[in-house]
Structure 1
Amino acid sequence: MNGSAPIWSGTWVTERLGVRLTDAGTAADAGTAAGTDTGAGTGTETGTGTGAGTGAAGRRVADLAGLAVRRNPRRAHLVVSQVLGKHVPAGPHVIYAAGRLLGLRAAAVLGAEDPPAGDWDTVEFDEVKLPGGPPLVVGFAETATCLGHVVADSFADADYLHSTRRSVPGVPLLGTFDEAHSHATEHLLLPADPGWLDRDGPLVLVDDELTTGRTAEETIRALHAVRPRERYVLAALLDLRTAADRPRFAALGEALGTRVDVVSLAAGEVRLPADVLERSADLVASLDVPRPAAATTRAPVTRLDAGWPAGLPEGGRHGFAAAHRPALLETVGQVAGQVAAGLPDGARVLVLGSEELMYAPLLLARALTRLHPGEVRCSSTTRSPVLPVDEPGYAIRTRLTFPAHDGTDTGTPRFVYNVAGAGFDRIVLVVDRTGDTPALWETGGLVAALRGVCKGVTVVVIPDLRPAEQDPQEGTR
């Protein structure tokens, strides 16, 4: 070790594409002299009346994210979170702390009295009680499904719903909205209770990143048309809106007669050269070429069908009531005990979620840290197509590609990033029963890909609750 600072994981993209991340209130690049500190800030944009004012950064953007190149003609770059548990394997307590700290930011603007303290080293957070009652919390698929869950955990008695890209026959559609720059644009809202929105209190919308705010604006308009309310809070790990986009929510609040606040853990701006799409396309064409599969051994694989109480949802696709949390924690703890019993002593373990299924895997990973003496990390598969570059200063070093296995958009490949070559002894893959298909297990599928990059794979299959199976008294207050 020479004592030099680690290379920021956005350096490669900055040097080749001219993409710059700057922190709010400064023209300096966010990645300059980037360190590894993941302390939380209080980046808030607090509005009065019908809209939001201007805000300032809390943490440095580069503390929380790096950069990669998208395989997407609409957007050249991807801001890669180091604390989300999606593209980059991270410690489960860090992932959970990020969501709870963001929840504390939301609670502060909603008037929480004496909110509990917390930082990145906090393991157990206290819940916040708001004087006017709990908010409803909605997370965006696919990256923020877990983040939204954890933000909801921050509030006593808060119910949660996340958007989804998986259509479910027989479930009425409450609403839909589009994410224009995304590789998969359509979001569906499919609560088991069609009246899920029909209750008082503020609504907290959670995403990993605010770029322009257009998707959030469209979502608020759609939800407000179904059930108007007085307060909305947008909570994101990173607020990267430009100065031109920042007045958007003040104007929206005035137009709808409501108030919209924005909170984040870090705030800044992405600055792009005019030719960034052309330069990105050239990079992808030159570097993203098929490579022959390396000769690998095939690690053993075991399957664990998780015992699961009837009526208990595994996540928020169809709504997750605050009353479900104790049972889910207990159930996941029991599954973790079964998984831990099969782990070699000291094994380095990755718990891998699958697309929108991220919250239960995170809880499983947290439980494993208490039961298993080895290192535990957590991440997830994704639909997001990204160029891998195995170079220092780049956020996506390796990629595994495999076909869809849940019957949704079957012609679109799926990916696992930063797992190949990471040296995991055991990978614990968590899928739901809809994703437990022959495509998951066949040659060329996800299980086969994982068997080539570790010493053993455990596949945990949990039920994905269908609305007809949910105890109706559990989903209401």
Structure 2
Amino acid sequence: MVWTGTWVAERLGVELIGDEALPALLGLALRRNPKRAHLLVSSVLGKHVPQRPSVVYGSGLDLGRRVRALLGDEETARAVVLGYAETATALGHAVADGLGLAPYLHSTRRPVAGVARAGGFEESHSHATSHLLLPEDPKLLAGHGPLVLVDDEFSTGNTVLNTVRALHERYPRDHYVVVALVDMRSAADLGRLDAFADEIGARVDLISGAAGTVRLPDGVLEKGQALVAAHDTARTDRSWDVPGSEVP
């Protein structure tokens, strides 16, 4: 069987609306979460549903090559790539490979004895909100070249804005590039990135594999929680299981 994510979409009435590439990249699952019962799941990330390694790696590599084309060789040589734990750690590696020789760092939620903290930020919607940046070389983030931030999904933009704000105060630079497999911002969120760039006086670009948005019907949270509860009573029957349903 090939997972499509339609099981949840049909039962909750949630719609993913976007360009032609979106259905091949994204689907819906359930999660146990009091804030949001549905979960957006990538079908090319290789974290939650099976996928060919060539597709997983190629998706990030292609995004990295697009970043390289945007920056040009001179700026690419000065770039640093930052991936988000836990979901986008491998994706960030692939994007860095697409750039060529750019050094790569991913965030972590675990302090490491003997390694100094170079920064941190908050991911407000996550079950574990605090991220740490622990580069082996403390000078890694101190350069002035472009910083490329890689995540699997760009939805509200809150995590990226929190990251850039925290790092810009400590390591200011002129250019940031946000990279995501999918850009799922709502109409209300579309202008926030440009406004933030003006606020800090830096250029902020966005590159994604596809763009769209989520249409949620009234009462979707309650309906989703009821759906999770109904199937939680029959966990021995794995035929109902969908990716993401086990996420706390």
Q: Check whether TM > 0.5.
A: yes
Task: Report the TM-score, using the length of structure 1 for normalisation.
Answer: 0.49
Q: Which residue of 1 aligns with 2:11?
A: 16
Q: Which runs of 4+ in 1 moved over 4 A?
A: none
Cα distance in 1 for residues equivalent to 2:76 and 2:52 = 34
Q: Secondary structure at the match of 2:141?
A: coil
| CA distances 1:288-323 after superposition (whole Å, capped 9, x unpaired) | 13645x9xxxxxxxxxxxxxxxxxxxxxxxxxxxxx
- Structure 2's unaligned 5+ residue stretches are none
> Among residues 390, 396, 412, which one is paired with 2:239 in the alignment?
390
Task: Report the TM-score, using the length of structure 2 for normalisation.
Answer: 0.92
- Please show how residues 281-430 of structure 1 align to structure 2 within 5 Å: 281-289=225-233, 291=235, 390-391=239-240, 395-396=242-243
C-alpha displacement at 1:251, in angstroms? 0.6
Q: Which residue of 2 aligns with 1:93?
A: 54
- Structure 1's unaligned 5+ residue stretches are 1-5, 24-56, 113-128, 295-388, 400-412, 415-477
Q: Which residue of 2 aligns with 1:138?
A: 82
Aligned identity (percent) is 53
- Judging changes above 3 Å, is the alpha-carbon distance between structure 1 residues 257 and 266 closer, same or farther for their aligned structure 2 residues? same
- Judging changes above 3 Å, is the alpha-carbon distance between structure 1 residues 130 and 89 closer, same or farther for their aligned structure 2 residues? farther
Between Structure 1 and Structure 2, which shows a larger proportion of helix residues? Answer: 2
Q: Are 2:76 and 2:99, in contact at CA under 8 Å, matched by a contact in 1? A: no
Residue 174 in structure 1 maps to residue 118 in structure 2: yes
| CA distances 1:178-220 after superposition (whole Å, capped 9, x unpaired) | 1111122111111122222111210100000011001101101
C-alpha displacement at 1:277, in angstroms? 1.3
Cα distance in 2 for residues equivalent to 1:155 and 1:76 = 36
C-alpha displacement at 1:262, in angstroms? 0.6
C-alpha displacement at 1:60, in angstroms? 2.1
C-alpha displacement at 1:65, in angstroms? 1.6
Cα distance in 2 for residues equivalent to 1:91 and 1:254 = 41
Q: Which residue of 2 aligns with 1:37?
A: none
Q: Are 2:119 and 2:133, in contact at CA under 8 Å, matched by a contact in 1? A: yes
Residue 74 in structure 1 maps to residue 35 in structure 2: yes
- The structure that has the greater radius of gyration is 1
- Matching residue's letter, 1:78: L
Cα distance in 1 for residues equivalent to 2:245 and 2:181 = 24
More relative contact order in 1 or in 2 (CA 8 Å, sep 6+)?
2
Q: Are 1:135 and 1:203, in contact at CA under 8 Å, matched by a contact in 2? A: yes
| CA distances 1:242-296 after superposition (whole Å, capped 9, x unpaired) | 111011110111000001111101100011123111111111111113645x9xx
Q: Which residue of 1 aligns with 2:130?
A: 186
Residue 84 in structure 1 maps to residue 79 in structure 2: no
Cα distance in 1 for residues equivalent to 2:5 and 2:93 = 28
Cα RMSD after superposing both structures: 2.3
Q: Secondary structure at the match of 2:113?
A: coil
C-alpha displacement at 1:398, in angstroms? 8.8
C-alpha displacement at 1:68, in angstroms? 0.3
Cα distance in 1 for residues equivalent to 2:67 and 2:44 = 18
Q: Are 1:83 and 1:90, in contact at CA under 8 Å, matched by a contact in 2? A: yes
